[in-house]
Amino acid sequence: MSIVDDARSGVITEEMRIVARQEGVTEDFVRRGLAGGHITIPVSPYRKVKICGIGEGLRTKVNASIGTSTDIVDIAMEVEKAKAAERAGADTLMELSTGGDFTEIRKQVIANTTLSVGSVPLYQAFIEAAINDGAVVHMKEDDLFRITAEQAKLGTNFMAIHTGINWETVKRLRNQGRHGGLVSRGGAFMTAWMIHNEKENPLYAEFDYLLEIMKEHEVTLSMGNGMRAGAVHDATDRAAVQELLINAELADKAHADGVQVIVEGPGHIPLDEIEANVVLQKRVTNRKPFYMLGPLVTDIAPGYDDRVAAIGAAMSSSYGADFICYVTPAEHLALPTVEEVFEGVISSRIAAHVGDMIKLKKRDADLEMGHARRDLDWERQFHVAMNPDRARQIRAERMPADTDGCTMCGDYCALKIVNRHFSF
């Protein structure tokens, strides 16, 4: 029995109760959302995690991605990134290492966070093939499924699986071309493997076997977005839409088999196409939880891409996206530092909150901040703030002579002036 099976049978589990309390909704609302495939709660039989509900009617969640590269393999630093992401308020974590001892890195990350942890098993399968057999195109299909099961047994809660790349998707990519190329590692690995071996994507061809592994280990299936746009001029193109349609059909099958499903969305999208992408994704997937990667709304701000993505994420959330993947200031430039991971999470949390103000009409915290500012109640302002420590630090570094105000206005604080003569 999976949590989806429980929900369909009318059983309300402890995970459903926790999500209902967190979100201020009824337990049956959560149960019905799980039964209908509109809500997921990543769990694992191998470890206890901080429960997090993702989907329709719930607060927009933020994922932080960490992991080594072939240039920088520092397990201690990745552990610190995991801790920083959790401290900054991330809801989930993805461990996406492409260098070093994959198993040891994942073990240590999982041991040092209470968050649900995601992975992309395909990375390990292809990179081990490159190391052991000389090229990623020599990846053995059995190894891909073996590694998927092994990662699940480590306590991985959700996995990005690139099921939507098949010969039809590749045909669309070839026919249309790309201004920004193919930027998904998973998409690039699988497309190269298919063309070299003249074989169908095993994750698509053997989807029933994949579902057996997912259900046995209670892993949430995140339908990977291997054809996502890496430039705004490639947004919503034929290859991306083709992959979405395939993933939508497979997502229905997975949910019917009792596997929880999330559907990933495109990465670089101009503002005027975000709403269309969210509506299309929700419509064709029968309202499955939508995991938006970014999105980045312009391509010309390297070094500030956390801000670029925050603009897109706020819009996406407001239109109905349920889950967003953070972007750090180092995106497109380098492996992020611990500090950049923290900043990326904060930027995305702000974006998610802004979107939820529209999508869920939840503005209580903003109302409380308005009252606290009106009353010059600094402790209350810090309590409501997204990052209280930073707010306290800035104020402490430039403390005014009159501690009721701040050094922005000094003696001529509008609130102090009016509060002497007027009561709100």
Average pLDDT, the chain: 96
Q: What is the pLDDT of residue 52?
A: 97
Q: What is the pLDDT of residue 107?
A: 97
CA 394, CA 42: separation in Å to the nearest integer?
A: 37
Q: What is the pLDDT of residue 421?
A: 80
- Among all chains, which residue has been given the structure tokens 């800035």? 394
Taking only the tens place, the pLDDT of each residue in 230-256 is 999 999 999 999 999 999 999 999 999
The CA-based angle 395-396-400, given to 5 degrees, is 70
Residue 424 has pLDDT above 80, yes or no: no
Q: What is the pLDDT of residue 47?
A: 95
The reported pTM is 0.96
Mutual orientation of helices 238-256 and 271-284 as an angle, nearest 10°? 30
Q: What is the pLDDT of residue 319?
A: 98
Confidence of residue 82 (pLDDT cuts 50, 70, 90): very high
Residues written for the chain: 424
CA 333, CA 205: separation in Å to the nearest integer?
A: 36
Q: What is the pLDDT of residue 415?
A: 87
Mean pLDDT over 274-282 rounds to 97
Confidence of residue 420 (pLDDT cuts 50, 70, 90): confident
Of 54, 67, 147, the closest CA to residue 110 belongs to 67
CB 259 within 8 A of CB 4: yes
- Among all chains, which residue has been given the structure tokens 């953070």? 326
CATH H-level superfamily of 59-359: Radical SAM ThiC family, central domain (3.20.20.540)
**Residue-range domain boundaries for the chain:** 59-359, 364-419
Q: Give the residue, 60 or 1, on which the prediction is more confident.
A: 60
Q: What is the pLDDT of residue 332?
A: 96
The pLDDT > 70 percentage for the chain reads 100
Residue 422 has pLDDT above 80, yes or no: no
Of 317, 296, 236, 250, the closest CA to residue 56 belongs to 317
Strand-strand pairing, 290-293 and 39-40:
unpaired
Residue 283 has pLDDT above 90, yes or no: yes
CA 50, CA 406: separation in Å to the nearest integer?
A: 38
Q: What is the pLDDT of residue 120?
A: 98
Taking only the tens place, the pLDDT of each residue in 319-336 is 999 999 999 999 999 999
- Within 10 angstroms of residue 193's Cβ, the number of other Cβ atoms is 24
CA 356, CA 212: separation in Å to the nearest integer?
A: 35
Residue 138 has pLDDT above 80, yes or no: yes
Q: What is the pLDDT of residue 417?
A: 83
Q: What is the pLDDT of residue 413?
A: 87
CB 41 within 8 A of CB 52: yes
The kind and range of the H/E element at 296 are none
* Eight-state DSSP code of residue 268: B
